[in-house]
Amino acid sequence: MDDKFATSAATVPEPCSVLGTSLRPFCLGHHLLFKRLALPFCGSPLADAEWEQIQIGIAICGQEWDETLAQLLNGEWGEVFGEWVSRLEFDTFLGFRFRRKLSKEFLDDATALFRAYLQDGYKKVPVWENVSDKNAISISAPWEMMLRNKLIQNGYSEEDVMRHYLPAAWYDYYTICELNSAKACSDPARWQKVFFTQDDFEREQALKGLQT
């Protein structure tokens, strides 16, 4: 998906399957589980990580986030994850169990695919750099809580927010900011729009062309 300018198409996730596991749309809940488990690619898709950490990330994103959370809280996650790894690493033939030989190329391809999935999940919304929450107060709340509470304040359920495809959640957040700003704006001449649009992008490219 082209992320040079804002487009509603960016709010629709594309299907992704890694190691035979269909990944759920990346959401705030997945991110918070990464953070709780101190996975190195939390917020940083290309960060160095061990293969086992990549496996944990894939297994987490292969379920709804609250399903994994429930397993962590009731002590079942270790067993669930172990069974997932077993299906990946072992095969059965004529009643005998054999360990599959997973080549470096195979592991590298799976890692690259998972990292591309994370890059998509963590992609930023194209907005003007001077855009904030239209609030002069410096907010100390973590961005996860800002996003969560802003959407809940505007009618989303907590379940909706935590399962919402993360790029789509950010688009909703900034749309709410823009609508609130427009409502409070008394002087159209001082209006500052939020999203960097296709028209803005094309205008910028045209200006660059004139300067060369």
CB 118 within 8 A of CB 26: yes
- Which residues, 6 or more positions from 171, have their beta carbon under 8 angstroms from its beta carbon? 6, 8, 10, 11, 125
Whether pLDDT at 119 is above 70: yes
Cα distance between residue 99 and residue 108, in whole Å:
19
**Which sequence spans correspond to the domains of the chain?**
8-121, 143-211
- The pLDDT of residue 93 is 46
Q: Which DSSP helix (H) or strand (E) runs through 55? A: helix 51-61
Could you tell me which of 189, 175, 132 has the C-alpha nearest to residue 6?
Answer: 175
State the average pLDDT for the chain. 89
| 35: phi then psi, degrees, rounded to nearest 5 | -65, -40
Per-residue pLDDT at 69: 97
38-93 tens-digit pLDDT: 999 999 999 999 999 999 999 999 999 999 999 999 999 999 999 998 888 655 44
Single pTM value for the model: 0.88
